[in-house]
Amino acid sequence: MLEKVKINTKKLLLEIKSKEAKKVFNNASTAPEWLDRQELEHLQKKYPVKTTWQKYEQDTEKLYTIPDTKGANRVISSLNQTTKPLSFLELGCQHGMTSYALRLAGHNTTAIDIDSDNFSPVAKSQGVEFHHMDAKALTFADESFDCLFSFNAFEHMDDPEQSLSEAIRVVKKSGYIDLNFNPLYMSPWGLHSWLELAIPYTAMLFSPDMLRSVVKSKHLWYWNGWSCQAYRDLWQKYSEQLSILKYQEIVNPFHLDMIVKYPSCFKSKTDCFDDLCVEGIEILFQKK
């Protein structure tokens, strides 16, 4: 009697599409590098914006009134330690809700951000130490913290290598650096423009000048342009100073049709197909 075999149709379809897209990409030319205004307008109709800035800000604001216990628990569990209190430094903290939750759990927490306007006064009143500071120029003494972490900020830092170097400096020997960030620049939503331009891979398809004529919000341009491969090279460069305890690349394979349709726009930007599919990285280092 033959056993019934369950087939994950969706996964199988994605694998087929990925192979097709990779083959087209590998054989593509590098011209034209950009699409024109007419194609931009066509794709805007196909991919309309689904929400408004006002709705986004209202939804986001709710999150910044509640301690991020989920984020805090993720940081603690990744360290596999029970020692308390630990000293934490958060890079790119925004309102500081993760540091706030860690503080409520009894830890010593310090948070920095290059923008000082968003930090929560509630978090500050509960003992989270906030500094208006650039991650690539930390003013803390060497080996000041047990753990440094950052959520969805590393893709915005204008000098990831210097920021990582500073992180290594301020973390204690055998301490931890926990980075979790997305979307990467070359992935479908890397421009962070979905509230004004909801076309996948906008940064790959249209010139910066054309995009600036459409995307008006200045903060959408605070990305560093680093690809997945660039980060891989960075981790390797610092392998003598850091051990990788956990590593995961988050893949987004849902817009590969854009690569098949406009292959030269992608081939002119990178030779690495993974740059286009990996949208996020989660990595836990331990300082040697």
Provide CATH code, domain 34-287. Answer: 3.40.50.150
Neighbours of 233 (CB within 10 A): 12
Q: How many CA atoms lie within 13 A of 179 on its CB side?
A: 25
In what order do the strands lie in the sheet containing 242-251?
129-132, 108-113, 87-91, 145-151, 171-181, 278-287, 242-251
Distance CA 134, CA 118 (A): 15
SS3 of residue 135 by DSSP: coil
Average pLDDT over residues 106-124: 91
- For residue 264, the model assigns a pLDDT of 98
> Tens digits of per-residue pLDDT, 141-168?
999 999 999 999 999 999 999 999 999 9
Beta partners for residue 91, in sequence order? 112
> Tens digits of per-residue pLDDT, 35-85?
999 999 999 999 999 877 677 667 667 767 788 999 999 898 888 766 678
Average pLDDT over residues 174-185: 96
What does DSSP say about strands 242-251 and 108-113: parallel, antiparallel, or unpaired?
Answer: unpaired
User: Between these two residues, 144 and 212, which has the higher pLDDT value?
Assistant: 144
**25: pLDDT strictly greater than 60:** yes
Give me 245's structure tokens: 């305890």
Domain boundaries in the chain? 34-287
* 57-to-61, 100, 132, 213, 215 alpha-carbon distances in Å: 6, 21, 22, 23, 17
User: Between these two residues, 12 and 125, which has the higher pLDDT value?
Assistant: 125
Q: Where are the alpha helices (DSSP H) in the chain?
A: 9-26, 37-46, 53-63, 69-79, 97-104, 121-125, 160-170, 202-205, 208-212, 228-237, 256-261, 263-267, 274-277
Distance CA 35, CA 131 (A): 42
Average pLDDT over residues 116-131: 90
Confidence of residue 215 (pLDDT cuts 50, 70, 90): confident
- For residue 82, the model assigns a pLDDT of 62
- For residue 137, the model assigns a pLDDT of 97
Distance CA 98, CA 80 (A): 18
Per the prediction, the chain carries an average pLDDT of 90
